[in-house]
Structures are given as structure tokens and as C-alpha cells.
Structure 1
């Protein structure tokens, strides 16, 4: 009996040693002399490089710290797991996941908090970051809208359970070099918006030029800024698209397999037309809104009248489905579908199974031997980092001039629907609803370690490093140094210039409103554009315009048919 017990003990010891040696996460051997912290990162277009670099710095900083009292372990080993899921999937699998810290997108904070899935991190969000040489807190880096959304008021006290992660604006990414080579910039006095300038004229014929020529003021109505030569209005955009068509260039493309890219773009167009105040009422259901369409006046020829200014509240929230910006965004889309004298402005890829990677490749290879020349693609801030493998491949094949840091791309500021709106602020939408958070229910020592790590990743140094390594901004307030900017591509620098410009407002599409908090998915872009046409529910109106010859008029009424006063009362009457 003793012999059997001894043999069993030896086998258990061997098995334990073998398990320690072979226990790996994503190919990483576990170091049992350190405390492990498991982190799930949704790589998406942003990758893991930013996290790997931050992890290295964190592990070095706390190499001699004991996180498990009396364990004899020193230091921390951060194990990065391959987070392939977002939003609802993370919500449904979080309890079973081995991850303790999460970075992902499509997150509705109130759902996670109400389900008891996330830990309270108020202390690390509100305390000053003096240990990192900063005088303020993470909370100080949040916008008012972010504080309103992420700050959960409980018994009169504000609690934080998440912090915003990366920032992405959906827009038209254009090839600056192509515009220069093909003379696609609008010349000074070469478009109707130039008549808004003192002494400005327009002969009635559009004139285009290259980068070195005298260019129009663009949508900001100011000369000498980055949007010079870009279309100031929808009509000027159509003229640019026709100019492209005359040169065999497809004006606009996006990935047909991910229609939500264009849904986000529709919301971006809506926001820029509505402005910050009216757009935020989509989520707050408060304030005075003066751009609601009187639905009874809408005619099939596109004409309509605005209703008198409305004081929004939970009871009349259905009126936000009639925002003028929605109609104008749909009108813009209808014109992209129908096109001009050289055909549709949309690429056929927009309504096929083409992936976002294939669409990026078609765009990038166009000037380097590709079969397609594309002027603009609908994308987000992350696209260039996501396309990095393609850039590397092209640089190897065609030389450095085809690489990421030699080529020039930028997001085009949205043209205005009408001439009278030129010069109004550019309004952007931070569209991906990304966040960093910690799983609830961890051991106290592990929770404290996780909070220390999450706080570390929101120091100015870490925010700047993320921006430099991904080329895309974080969704907090911080400043890049000149040395940081020197490491960015043309596109990366254009993003920073865009988000920091004085005449720019940023919509964070969420709020603490009770209706929004209880049903956030109902107000996300992938739902916002759903409607009912001829009694049949639909999504992705751009597809119906293309496939079924539906008009902006049809689609706008379709949204109003879905969000009626009766349906609103049926869904939300318990909130008023």
C-alpha cells in the first residue's frame, strides 16, 4: 500500500511538472514564479503591437512587486489572449472566459453593469495619476458625453466600470497623391462655394487643379487649411465624382460584405448635417431640436418643410427618426447609386461579397498596376494599420514609394448638403463604442493588479504610444509630441489634425438617458437605418436603393414607418 502511494505521488509530481512546462497561452509558457494576468484584446484593425509594447513596459516597471501576499512570487506575467469577439458575444461568454481584462468594441456599458459582469474601477479612474508624473486623472481625459455615459450614478454617487478605448470616425478616405497627379482638387473660383468668399466668383464651369495650384476654400470656408480643394457641398462632390469618371476612376468603394461600414457612414453624414446639438438628441432625448422634418410635407420630388423647433423628451423621442440629417444622408447615398454621365459613383464591390481587406487592396494597388483605380473608400481610422501587411508587400514589390509611410491618404471632411451650411463645424462620430474593463468576481489581489494595469494603459505615455504604433487615436484627451508625430504616416497625422481642429465637434453616440441605457442597441447605426417599406422590414437602405431602385424618399419614410408614435409608446412608455 505504501509502495502504491509513493508511486502515485511520484506520478502526480511528474504530471504537475509537465503541466507547468507545457501550460501555454497562445504559445507563451507560463512562468510560475510570477503572478499571471490574462488579457483579451480584440485585435480588429488595431492589432496587438500596441498592447505587446505596453505589456513589456508594465512588466519591467513591476518586476520586483509581489502581487499575491505570501506567495513568494515577484513580478507579473501578462498573458495576451486572442480576443476574436466583440459586443454581445463577449457579453455572453465573459463568465466562462479565462480573461480578466478585456479590450473590445460594440460594448453597451449598462448591459454589462446590470448583469454584474464588470468590476467597479471608480478609484483608478478618478484618482490623480501622480505616480506616473501626471497631475490629472483618467476622468479628466474624458469628454462630458463620455462621463455622462460611463459614469453610472448609484445612490447619488458616480461609479465607473469601463473606460473608452480606441477612437474611429467613419468617412471617405481619399488618395492625396492620386488627387494631385490627376488634378482632382477644386480650383479657386472653380466651384459655386467660392462665391461665399469676398470677391469670389464662379463661371458656371467647374475647374480642377493639382496640389500646387490655387485651390478652393473647401467645406470649412477657410483658405490655407487641410481641406482646401475638397468639395464643400454635395453638388460639388458629384462634380468631383464626374471628373473622376471622365478619367476612368471609380469614385467610391466599400466592402460589400460588411454593409455596417456604410451604415456608420450614413450616421456620420447625418451627424455632420445635424450638428452636435441635434445629433446628440438621438441619444439623450433632450434639448431643443430645430431640424426635424414635418413628415406630412415630404413629397416624392424630395421637397419637405421643417417642423417648428421641438423640445425633446422621452415621450416624443420617435421624432428623432425624422431628423433632416437622415434624409440628406439618404439623398447623398441615392446619388452615389444613380451616379452621373459616366455611370454609378459606387463601385460594384459595394454590393458584392468583397471583404474589407479585398477592398483596401483594390484601393491601394490601383496606382501600382492594379486593375481598378479608386478615388475614395469608406473606412475607419484603423484601416491603414489593418492594411499594413499589404503596404509591406507593396513596398517589397514596388519600392519604398508604395509603402505606408511614403504614400499619402486622408479622411475627407464631409461636404455639406447645401451651400448655406458651408463653414459650419465639421461633426464627427466616434462610432465603434469600444471600451476597456475588468471581469467582476476576481480575487481581491487579482482585481487590484488588473486595475493597476488598466490605469497604466491610460496614462499619457500609453495613450501616445498606442497612437504612434497603430496610427489611430485613442478615445481620450491627450497631446502628441512632435517626436510622436514624426513617427506617424501622412494619414496618421491627418487624423490628429482633424480631431484636434477648432471647428470640429465629436459625437459620442450614447448617453445616460433611461431609454438609451435600457435599449442601447436600438440606437446604434446598424439599427438606426432599418425601416419598413411596403409592409416589409428592411436594413441597409443603400442596398435597396441599388437592388430595388428605392429612393431616398422611400427609405426616409420607411424609417418613420418603423419608428412611429405608437411603436415608440409600445416600446418605451414605462420610461415616461
Structure 2
């Protein structure tokens, strides 16, 4: 087991923090071990190194290559996908963009999509998006397969965003990624941690459960989970005091994880339309919090028009306060990993390793919940594999029972479907600097990734969804419990994306979506970046932190930060 523990606690401190918040650092050797077949045409595929990795591309590789095995490309016959991973596939792709990159189809994370499209890094793929999926770009013919278009699988907001540059498409969304609370279903089942309809804990596995945070008993997958903040804290108290486990764990080295969780909580509190104001800055802020009474209850003011020039008004948005209040309850009651929740030596990947391993390693304290992205299992696949080798199939990622918890509500009056905030910048595109002779095969591959068959393969491989419309069919049964819950949320939640074609979002992409930039607060003359650290180290309350954000984001600071809006 010593080798395994070294892996778990190796960390990734050398990675850029902005990418580390959204992805890990696992990956395979560039191009794998397959030699170049000089008789075939090579199509070079680039995948961001970390997070979801490239396993899903390898899962599609053979079928796609077989499809064109008998096709001649000049003096070549057939196509060979050459797959590599790199941390360069993010942001603005460096100062020179994609011009010096050999990869021809790229799947990026955290990309400045519209900026790069306007700069000329991405090829126009409008025909890929709008032609039927049974159109063959290589053979220039229409077959008998799926006749839908990729565009028909996008929602209207996605169509507007991805066609914002001259009405043309230059990229497609690839991953429905979001920050949340992963939970160990085995801990919940083994210890009767689900709630009964009367608010008590269930007495056994067959006991009736409450309707869960969505308030709908027919959606059985969330039944029994805490409905309100109050129930959540009751759950945490039982886990801490009775079970001697850690209720909620996170990587102390990356407080960004907690800040991104706050954004997700904010979205669930205010709903999709109000949350989207933080990205398009065009609408009306409803029920802004203007002050607190002597008992600490928020006081609400009149609705406020929002534009890019008055974005500072969004720091009165109630969801920000209720998100801070949720974290405050966890911190002030010690419902987190107190020993290393602020330690720079304990990374988010260390936390993932403990979350998986503590069931078997009695030297570790088991945690019931983990603050992480829904992609966390892909990052921890090596840990799962090591335990499977030692314990057998029951320890595999497929058979261990984890899920993503729909958030509890601030009050029982708010019960309803979850509002899911998904990240921007997880995109697939064709490098505009591709050789002309490869454009058609590149379009064919990108198109293939959005067929129903390939979408199902992607989800079975990664256990998360693409942010487009598709039906898992019988493939749903192949998913782990974590994957099934991601699909359940995909189909039932209200969704809001950080992606907006607004001028402020295009010109200040990172500042608008990167959580630490959004939670700065000045309290007592000191400016804090991370609410979690301010609460743990300085005892700052949710109320004071919330009011401090308004103190920091004055109209003058806002206008100086966002000049070209």
C-alpha cells in the first residue's frame, strides 16, 4: 500500500491554479504507445491534460478509424487518430494561439472561446453543426444513419453563444462540468443517513424516505437527501458526532474549490434567469439585499436594472448571501476536515484519494461528502484501479457507490428542481491552421463525436454528460451510480451556463467566471479573496463578508476594472 499512498498524496502544486481548480493532472503518455502507420493519414487530436482526460477519445478511436479504413487520401489509405494531452489547451492558448500547435482537432478546458474565434484560431465549422449527422464530409454523400443535426441538440442559449461571431459556429460544448458535493452513498445507506417524510432519519434501508430537495417523491434518486440547510446541518452533526467521520471534505491547498461551490450554491438559490445576469449583464436584479436587521435577517429593496456598467449592483444578489450562509454553517460547527482544510500540503487530489481510500485504509478518517467537480472520478481513476487490484471488483470505480448531491435549499419554501451552473470553455474545435487536405476528415471526426452512439460512449467512459440533448437508452445501465446521478441531473435540473456573448464577458472572460475574482470582500479595512479562509482564520461572518463584497466592489472599482464594456 505504500505505493498507493504516495500516489494519493503526490499533489499537483506545479500546475497553474486556474486550471487546477477545474481539472487534475492525470494523463497518459503523448500519442500512447501505438506507432505511426505511414500508410495511413494521421489526424492529430489534442485533449486537455487533466480532469476528464482522453480515455473517451480512445473509446471512439477504433470505430471512427474503421469507418474510413477503405478510403483513399492521396497516397494514403485509411486514417489513424494520434491522440495527445497537454495543459496548453486552455485559456487563450498562449500569446500566439493555435498557430504553432500540431493538433488539428482540439478538446480544450477553460478556453476563451469567443476571443480565440475572433482572433482566428478556430476553423469555421458551421457546416458540421448544421448538416445532418448522416452527411459524410469525406465521401460527400448522405447515408442512412442519424438524420438530426448537431444544432438541433443545442439549446437556444448555446446556439446564440456559439454563433455569436458573424453568425458562424467555431466551437462546440464538450462537457457538462460543474462544482458540487459528491457523497458516499455507501456511508448514507450503511448508517441510515437518509431523511424520512417526518424529518427524522430513516430506520432501515426499506423505510420511506422524504421527497428530497426537489420536493417530488417521483424522482426517487434524490429522495431522503437533505431538503434544507437546517436538515443538512442535522445530517452533518450526526456524521461528526455519532459516526466520528468528516461530514464535508475539501483540498486545503485549493480554496478555489470552495469558492466555485459558492457560485453553484448561488445559482441554485436565485435560479437560472437571475444567475445569468452575472454573465450577460442585461436584465433586472430582483429582491436585492440592502441591509440586515438587528436579528441578522436580510432586508430586501426594490428591483434594480443591471447593465455591464452597473454590475456592482449584483453584489446585492441574495443568492450570494445564502451561499455564504451555507458555508458558514459548515465552518463554524467544524463540519469539515479541520486538520487539513486550509493546509497547502493537502491538495484536492489528496482529498479525492482519501474519499476513495478511507473505506479500506483504517488510518484515514472517512468523509461522507467531498467538495469537487462532477469529473472527480476521472481524476481519481488511478486510486480506484489500485484498490480494485487489491480488493477485487467490489472496489472498482464502476461498483463503488458515489453520487452528486442536489443542493439543499435555504428554506422549505424553496423546494424544487436544482438549478445547475455549468462552466464555460469546455469546447471542441478544429485548428484553423490545419492542412487543407485534412479539413474534411477533421470535420467528420468532430461531427462523429456528437452522434447518439458517440455521446453515449462519452458518458459511459467519463460518467458525466455532454451539455447537449441526447438519450442514453440502455447505456444508462452501464453507468456507475455517480454517472447515473449526473445523467439524472442532466435531464431534470434547470441549467444556466457561464457562457455569454456579452461584450463584458468577451473582453473580461477570466474575471467574470473565475471564482476568486468574484468573492473579494473588504471587512474592517482588510480585503479577503477566499470566503472559506476568511471565515476559518478570521471569524468573518456570512453577513459581514456579504456586506464587505459591496464595500470592495464600489462603482469606481467596478468601472476601473471593467473599462471596455
TM-score range, shorter chain: 0.7 to 0.9
Alignment match, 1:549: 539
Alignment match, 1:229: 224
Q: Is the 8 A contact 1:86 1:104 kept in 2?
A: yes
The whole-number CA distance in structure 1 between the counterparts of 2:525 and 2:538 is: 15
Summarize deviations over 1:240-299 as a string: whole Å, max 9, x none: 1111112201100011222222222111100000111101111121233313222xx246
1:366 matched to 2:340: no
- The CA deviation at 1:477 is 1.2
Structure 1 stretch displaced more, 413-422 or 551-560:
551-560
Residues 483-502 of structure 1: pairs in structure 2 closer than 5 A = 484-501=475-492
The whole-number CA distance in structure 1 between the counterparts of 2:229 and 2:370 is: 17
The whole-number CA distance in structure 1 between the counterparts of 2:77 and 2:39 is: 7
Alignment match, 1:433: 425
The whole-number CA distance in structure 2 between the counterparts of 1:212 and 1:283 is: 44
Q: Is the 8 A contact 2:508 2:562 kept in 1?
A: no
1:138–1:38 CA distance, 2 compared to 1 (3 A): same
2:374 equivalent among 381, 386, 398: 381
1:209 matched to 2:220: no
- The CA deviation at 1:89 is 6.3
Residues 56-455 of structure 1: pairs in structure 2 closer than 5 A = 56-67=62-73, 71-88=74-91, 90-92=93-95, 94-131=98-135, 133-154=145-166, 158-190=167-199, 206-224=200-218, 225-246=220-241, 247-294=243-290, 297-298=291-292, 302-339=296-333, 343-352=334-343, 353-370=345-362, 371-422=364-415, 424-431=416-423, 433-455=425-447
The whole-number CA distance in structure 1 between the counterparts of 2:518 and 2:495 is: 19
Aligned length: 522
The whole-number CA distance in structure 2 between the counterparts of 1:536 and 1:57 is: 58
The whole-number CA distance in structure 2 between the counterparts of 1:58 and 1:347 is: 49
The whole-number CA distance in structure 2 between the counterparts of 1:383 and 1:497 is: 17
Structure 1 stretch displaced more, 379-388 or 405-414:
379-388
1:512 matched to 2:501: yes
Q: Which runs of 5+ in 1 are unaligned?
A: 1-23, 191-205
Q: Is the 8 A contact 1:121 1:451 kept in 2?
A: yes
The whole-number CA distance in structure 2 between the counterparts of 1:362 and 1:184 is: 20
- The CA deviation at 1:377 is 0.5
Q: Indicate the SS of the match to 1:172.
A: strand
Structure exhibiting the larger radius of gyration computed from Cα positions = 1
Alignment match, 1:48: 54
What TM-score, normalized by structure 2, do the two folds share?
Answer: 0.87
Summarize deviations over 1:128-181 as a string: whole Å, max 9, x none: 213362222111111222222211242xxx111110011122111111111111
Q: Is the 8 A contact 1:275 1:425 kept in 2?
A: no
Alignment match, 2:560: 570
Q: Is the 8 A contact 2:455 2:470 kept in 1?
A: yes
Q: Is the 8 A contact 1:326 1:556 kept in 2?
A: yes
Summarize deviations over 1:392-433 as a string: whole Å, max 9, x none: 2223323332222322111111000122212x3310111253
The whole-number CA distance in structure 2 between the counterparts of 1:171 and 1:210 is: 27
The whole-number CA distance in structure 2 between the counterparts of 1:102 and 1:252 is: 36
The whole-number CA distance in structure 1 between the counterparts of 2:562 and 2:372 is: 34
Q: Which runs of 5+ in 2 are unaligned?
A: 1-29, 136-142
Q: Is the 8 A contact 1:38 1:80 kept in 2?
A: yes
The whole-number CA distance in structure 2 between the counterparts of 1:140 and 1:207 is: 44
Alignment match, 2:459: 467
What TM-score, normalized by structure 1, do the two folds share?
Answer: 0.86
Q: Is the 8 A contact 2:89 2:106 kept in 1?
A: no
Q: Is the 8 A contact 1:338 1:345 kept in 2?
A: no
The whole-number CA distance in structure 2 between the counterparts of 1:36 and 1:184 is: 53
Q: Indicate the SS of the match to 1:219.
A: coil
Q: Is the 8 A contact 1:45 1:382 kept in 2?
A: yes
1:559 matched to 2:543: no
Summarize deviations over 1:351-380 as a string: whole Å, max 9, x none: 112123321221122232332121100122
Summarize deviations over 1:468-516 as a string: whole Å, max 9, x none: 112111121111111x112111111121112112xx2011112111211
- The CA deviation at 1:444 is 2.0
1:354–1:573 CA distance, 2 compared to 1 (3 A): closer
Structure 1 stretch displaced more, 491-500 or 563-572:
563-572
Q: Is the 8 A contact 2:54 2:85 kept in 1?
A: no
- The CA deviation at 1:383 is 1.6
Q: Indicate the SS of the match to 1:152.
A: coil
The whole-number CA distance in structure 1 between the counterparts of 2:424 and 2:349 is: 18
Alignment match, 1:8: none
Summarize deviations over 1:189-223 as a string: whole Å, max 9, x none: 12xxxxxxxxxxxxxxx444343212222211222
Q: Indicate the SS of the match to 1:88.
A: coil
Q: Indicate the SS of the match to 2:307.
A: coil
Q: Is the 8 A contact 2:237 2:335 kept in 1?
A: no
The whole-number CA distance in structure 2 between the counterparts of 1:499 and 1:544 is: 34
1:399–1:149 CA distance, 2 compared to 1 (3 A): same
